[in-house]
Amino acid sequence: MVVIKLVEFKDFDLSKIMNFLSHHKGCQVVNSGFFVGKKQVLHAVNQMNKAFRNGTSFSKTEEMEFLIRFVGEKQIKKVIEKVKPRKRSLFVSWRGVDNYRCFEEEFDFRVLKFPRVKEKELKVAIEKTATFWI
């Protein structure tokens, strides 16, 4: 089960978020500016899983591979800068709800409604997630 939540932190603290991520594998908190729709996130998770199954991953960790797939960029420095969490971020866990429960306990935030999906933008985001290495 993949958990996807659009959140707005009340007291944004990047170092606290990074510390949380270092202790909770199978999840990410990313800049919401790259989020187009749930299908984009699910596709990035599926591509990450497929890459590890097939031995074609660009990264040694699922967490970084997810970011690479989500953004559609292979250069890790660029990926990290682009997805760095902000006050409004996207929480994603591909290992179920336990990570989200810990996230809820650790941070003070409100859950936002997902923006309306623009099908054309979603299609472009999914294509970029799937074919950026070509």
Domain residue limits, the chain: 3-131
What are the CA-CA distances from residue 117 to residues 35, 36, 84, 100 (Å)? 10, 7, 22, 24
Q: Which residue has the tokens 């199954």?
A: 53
DSSP letters, 35-46, are ---HHHHHHHHH
The pLDDT value given to residue 126? 63
**Consecutive 10-residue runs of the chain (134 residues): their mean pLDDT?**
96 97 97 88 93 92 95 89 96 95 98 82 66 52
The pLDDT value given to residue 37? 84
Please provide the CATH number assigned to the domain covering 3-131. Answer: 3.30.2380.10
User: For the whole model, what pTM was predicted?
Assistant: 0.88
The pLDDT value given to residue 130? 64
